[in-house]
Structure 1
């Protein structure tokens, strides 16, 4: 029985595409399908851990560059504001009890 499977479009960097073209014997759609299935299995088992380096790689070079160019003081300022907002939220929650 033949099953119609949905198609997806996948974007990859040009340099990776050029390398892939050199290996015409590989069924790249099958490689991608297997990688997606393995990733989903890990997600469903709750065993998928992503490092900060992985996240930066997924977000791209432009995002990584902006993070590195942002002064540490900006991050400290945001952290203080977030901490104060969380404290206010918890304080108001506790007073309602």
Structure 2
């Protein structure tokens, strides 16, 4: 293999390994909030309501993150398959 081919191969590898800005490395799943029992006083219920509302907002963000990760994974898989098919085609045509 010639040096330019190695350099091109390295560029392809770098382009596929380095994540895009849209990709994240971790979707932070929120913890389930404490749900008080029936014996809790009013202030305890109000705190719990705030916690559940915060949890709901964070869970929506988490679900969106997971959906984005799924879309990124599908895109990456398609790119890998396309690159593989191109490599096989180039190999077969030489």
TM-score w.r.t. the length of structure 1 is 0.29
Between structure 1 and structure 2, the one with the greater Rg is 2
Larger RCO: 1 or 2 (CA < 8 Å, sep 6+): 2
TM-score w.r.t. the length of structure 2 is 0.29
